[in-house]
Structure 1
């Protein structure tokens, strides 16, 4: 059975499909020693190499794939680039090749998922799939009911209007917000629009997975129950990049 090259690479756990496309475009991928084009398909007997090293297909039942929950500290950068000081891969020190699902800003802390399953990355990240993320935010001045109302009803940032979302006050200077979007520095930009500055931002939950039992800097494998729930939630999600 033939597979698209980017899907084949992502399924090995080397990287996500988007990153695989970038590697192919840059000429870092070969099939049987030849440099392919984007969209090329791979057969079971083909030898695929990335940067000169052959990569091994993952097992069809996914038993060799890794799914981690990590409580990211402030100051850690969500990149697999080892040349970046304080990168998330060095911070975790996991022996198998993994990569983060999405990002969490360097000044932010809290839950981020990491995996060796490139297919699941796009399923979770695609905005159409609307998988929610819960944040606790502390700002530099008292939160008002007007601010809560405005934040929840769409804010003009980055040449668009953010989707309506659930926002609840949490103390004098804090609020909880649940997003299904992932715009660049979205919460910070939303706050800045109303004259507020974020002093602390913690992601508490992604879908049904939370920080329970994880101290800052710790990681754990997702439980069997969490994986069952995730697979059910992603059943109708597309992993195709648009």
Structure 2
């Protein structure tokens, strides 16, 4: 029997890499101990079989942005707890290697309307955080709104051109019917409660709200309660 040593030290002995390279290999999910991926350089090993994946790269993991289909009942803190390797959308999991580091230091950005479900954004990337903070007044968001009641005459036209309701000036939006009970709203930086107010102003009551898009990024076919990685090709 040998005394337990750090996994990073064992890897250095095995492949002759530097300490920093060993840490990057391990944190990148490229090292297994008895066939199990271990991502902690300080993990202690004895006589277990340690292997380095043949495709391994000693690169620091890139910061990630995760897109969650949030259930309506959850707040941001509760929604964040949904994001685990097990809730990654199966349809979007191919070719992805969720790492423990992907779930650390995530910040919620681009606040949803109250009681809304749909696209919620969590990111580690300062460029994304800055974009959605500094340019929030310029980035369009899209909601699907389930409604009840009968729209007043010329209601759609009023929504699209702006109006005053209960002494408050409401913004003009891009509104259209998706079907007999669902409206689509597209607008920039919607203020809290504004979609409910817009609907009330034309005689409708909001049954549910779901955000489907922020800028050029949509939630797509991710099931409620699951998430996917934002791709390099997507832009807000």
TM range (shorter): 0.5 to 0.7
Q: Is the 8 A contact 1:143 1:174 kept in 2?
A: no
After TM superposition, list the pairs within 5 Å mapping 1:43-192 onto structure 2. Answer: 64-78=62-76, 80=77, 87-93=78-84, 95-126=103-134, 129-143=137-151, 146-156=154-164, 161-192=169-200
Task: Give me the whole-angstrom Cα distance separating, in 2, the residues matched to 1:106 and 1:165.
Answer: 18
Q: Is the 8 A contact 2:83 2:103 kept in 1?
A: no
> What CA deviation, in whole Å up to 9, does each residue of 1:146-202 have, x standing for no partner?
221111222446975333221111222221110112201220122123332100111
Task: Give me the whole-angstrom Cα distance separating, in 2, the residues matched to 1:126 and 1:177.
Answer: 22
User: Of Structure 1 and Structure 2, which has the larger fraction of its residues in strand?
Assistant: 2
Q: Is the 8 A contact 1:133 1:178 kept in 2?
A: yes
User: Pairwise CA RMSD of aligned residues?
Assistant: 2.8
Residue 224 in structure 1 maps to residue 215 in structure 2 = no
Moved over 4 A (4+): 126-129, 157-160
Task: Give me the whole-angstrom Cα distance separating, in 2, the residues matched to 1:66 and 1:170.
Answer: 33
The Cα of 1:128 is off from its aligned counterpart by 6.5
Paired residue secondary structure (2:81)? helix
Q: How many residues align?
A: 161
Task: Give me the whole-angstrom Cα distance separating, in 2, the residues matched to 1:137 and 1:172.
Answer: 11
Structure 1, unmatched stretches of 5+, are 1-61, 81-86, 231-242
Paired residue secondary structure (1:183)? coil
Paired residue secondary structure (1:111)? strand
Residue number in structure 2 paired with 1:59: none
Change (3 A) 1:171 1:74: same
The Cα of 1:106 is off from its aligned counterpart by 4.9
Change (3 A) 1:106 1:162: closer
Residue 212 in structure 1 maps to residue 220 in structure 2 = yes
Task: Give me the whole-angstrom Cα distance separating, in 2, the residues matched to 1:167 and 1:181.
Answer: 15
Q: Is the 8 A contact 1:133 1:206 kept in 2?
A: yes
**TM-score (norm. length: structure 1):** 0.58
Structure 2, unmatched stretches of 5+, are 1-59, 85-101
Q: Is the 8 A contact 2:152 2:202 kept in 1?
A: no
